Structure 1
């Protein structure tokens, strides 16, 4: 779905990645990042957000918290992350991207609260319950800090992905705020939800969820109770193009993720300010039964669209030509993606060792893929920066793997 956008808007990146793979510099099963474009995207997003009075925290999980990605964001004006979990926070912190928001979507485990409070020192820490608020407050007090706490809220009719549910009753927010303020080491700072915005396939646009109205009502109740300077964190399907609507709804914080590499659902529908900056690269392994099998490991296609005909560019030479596109069958999510199966019965005739390039919305952190930074595409001198695993740790591939 996103390969078409890559071909139209960033063909030089595709061709650079293919050439580097053919030179042996990028291994199969790699998410590849155009760091020059990431930096420009971050600059575009952060400047728009700043003009609207929005704090920006970057979500990095989709590209596995790659250190070069984090550093490109910093150069583009985004200095803080929203960490989906503790691994995410540690990887971003190690790369120089400080923790702006922790605990949302995944709460901090009890065994990690002291480390989070004393070492990560997040600007904001989201809790879903009084138990987690007490843990965060106690850890902050132990570290000699007062922690800004965001309360995740919910009410009947709000939208949640299955397995993401949780939060305080929105109707009780004033009482919740008082209870958090009463904890040593804690300060009630605001409210959050997820998702506040979602892509609507029927209208091909981004629309607010009921959760955004829940935030508005809770913010109004807090204001009526005399609370001022309340943070309203409203993540979900961000792009520079939707930030004015988010700010108009009262949000004070935004959290771009896929926008930073141009893979929100809306990016597949229309050309937004952010340009595509990520692809998934594989290699043809062998032939069988009319298919050419390419190495998997990172073939998790985030299902934001109904199933569609997945295609890939297949060639032994750098190319962004549509004549080199072939259909690919991706293993079902219930199966391990050892291989993808390229249709070898059409005009494209894959050979062992050919480069295979996909463009899809990924979630690299839940895969066993490599993540590879490439700089210099914009200047015509592409170079691999680092090859990292899904925890943002350098992988010496392949020469030094055993040293």
Structure 2
């Protein structure tokens, strides 16, 4: 889905990754990051966010919380992360990207609340229920802190991904705010939802969901009782071009993830300010019949897209030419992705040891893939920074021991 975009807008990245792989410096089954481009994307996004008075928290799960990615985000001007879960918060904190928002997509387990309050000290902590608010406030009180709490709200007609449901009844938000304020160690700071924006496949545009209207109505109810100075956290598919509309809708916080490496669904159909900065790299292993099998482990096709013909670039030397594209069959979601099968018919058939490049909108943290940073592509001197797993931990890659 994003390979055409990479070939058109960042071909030097593709070619650098292929060259480094052929030199034995990059592992197969790895998401590769162009950290220079990430840093520039962050600068573009953050400049627009500042213009509209939006607080920005970076989402890092899609690229495995890679420490180099966190460093590029910091250099680009975003100083806080939004953590999808505790593992995410810990990895980002270790890399220097402090926790701006915790607990939204995944609530904090009760046994980990004390660590979150005392060690991570998030700027904002989202809670879905009174019991979770009590846990967060109690842990914060014991740590000698007063924690800003965001109430996740929902009402009939709101959109949720299956398995993401939860939150306070939006109609009760005034009472909820009073209850959170009454907790020792807790303070009601605002409201949140997810997703506030979604890509509309039919119209090929990003549009507001009913959830954004729910936030607006809740904010009005709070304002009516004098609660005007609140945070409105409105995450969802975004890019620098969406921020004016988000601010106009009342949002005070945004949380770019795929935008920072140029792989939101809107990036696939429209040229946006952020350039693509991530690819998935593999290697041809062997042939069977008329197929060349390449290593898997990170073959993640985001279900936000309808089914499409996956393609990959293959070669033993750097290439970003359309004639080096090949059709690929990806294993079904129910199967383990040990390999993908590449069409090996014709004169230009992939050979064993050929480098294989895909353009995915990935979720590296739910795969077996490694994550690798590259710096220096823009200057013509690409170098590998670190090779890490999906938790941002350095990996002793066996290929590094080759002579």
Q: Report the TM-score, using the length of structure 2 for normalisation.
A: 0.99
Distance in structure 1 (CA, Å) of the matches to 2:347 and 2:261:
31
Q: Show the counterpart of 2:377.
A: 377
Unaligned runs of 5+ in 1: none
Q: Show the counterpart of 2:34.
A: 34
Instruction: Report 1:241-320 matches (<5 A).
Output: 241-320=241-320
User: C-alpha displacement at 1:344, in angstroms?
Assistant: 0.6
Alignment of 1:163 with 2:163, yes or no, is: yes
Distance in structure 2 (CA, Å) of the matches to 1:253 and 1:399:
42
Contact 2:372 2:386 in 1 (8 A): yes
Unaligned runs of 5+ in 2: none
Alignment of 1:326 with 2:356, yes or no, is: no
Instruction: Report 1:121-200 matches (<5 A).
Output: 121-200=121-200
Contact 2:297 2:367 in 1 (8 A): yes
Contact 1:325 1:348 in 2 (8 A): no
Contact 2:62 2:364 in 1 (8 A): yes
Distance in structure 2 (CA, Å) of the matches to 1:65 and 1:348:
37
Distance in structure 1 (CA, Å) of the matches to 2:290 and 2:108:
48
User: C-alpha displacement at 1:346, in angstroms?
Assistant: 3.6
Distance in structure 2 (CA, Å) of the matches to 1:39 and 1:192:
27
Q: Show the counterpart of 1:207.
A: 207
Q: Show the counterpart of 1:24.
A: 24
| Partner SS state of residue 212, structure 1 | helix
Q: Show the counterpart of 1:70.
A: 70
Q: Show the counterpart of 2:237.
A: 237
Structure-2 change in CA distance of 1:288 and 1:244 (3 Å): same
Instruction: Report 1:339-354 matches (<5 A).
Output: 339-354=339-354
User: C-alpha displacement at 1:69, in angstroms?
Assistant: 0.1
Contact 2:280 2:358 in 1 (8 A): yes
User: C-alpha displacement at 1:399, in angstroms?
Assistant: 5.4
Q: Show the counterpart of 2:226.
A: 226
Deviations 1:226-272 (A, max 9, x none): 11210000000010010000000000000000000000000000110
Contact 1:316 1:353 in 2 (8 A): yes
User: C-alpha displacement at 1:301, in angstroms?
Assistant: 1.3
| Partner SS state of residue 159, structure 1 | coil
Contact 1:387 1:397 in 2 (8 A): yes
Structure-2 change in CA distance of 1:111 and 1:247 (3 Å): same
Contact 1:326 1:348 in 2 (8 A): no
Contact 2:24 2:399 in 1 (8 A): no
| Partner SS state of residue 326, structure 1 | strand
Distance in structure 2 (CA, Å) of the matches to 1:383 and 1:400:
14
Deviations 1:72-121 (A, max 9, x none): 00000001000000000000000000000000100000111000000000
Distance in structure 2 (CA, Å) of the matches to 1:228 and 1:18:
53
| Partner SS state of residue 345, structure 2 | coil
Distance in structure 1 (CA, Å) of the matches to 2:400 and 2:258:
32
Distance in structure 1 (CA, Å) of the matches to 2:243 and 2:124:
21
Which consecutive aligned stretches of 4+ in structure 1 deviate over 6 angstroms post-superposition? none
| Partner SS state of residue 240, structure 2 | coil
Give the paired residue count: 401
Distance in structure 1 (CA, Å) of the matches to 2:93 and 2:47:
23
Distance in structure 1 (CA, Å) of the matches to 2:13 and 2:400:
27
Structure-2 change in CA distance of 1:17 and 1:199 (3 Å): same
| Partner SS state of residue 153, structure 1 | strand
Deviations 1:117-155 (A, max 9, x none): 000000000000001000000000000000000000000
Contact 1:314 1:348 in 2 (8 A): no
Q: Show the counterpart of 2:48.
A: 48
Contact 1:310 1:329 in 2 (8 A): yes
Contact 2:38 2:72 in 1 (8 A): yes
Q: Report the TM-score, using the length of structure 1 for normalisation.
A: 0.99
Alignment of 1:337 with 2:347, yes or no, is: no
User: C-alpha displacement at 1:303, in angstroms?
Assistant: 1.6
User: C-alpha displacement at 1:305, in angstroms?
Assistant: 1.1
Distance in structure 2 (CA, Å) of the matches to 1:84 and 1:208:
22
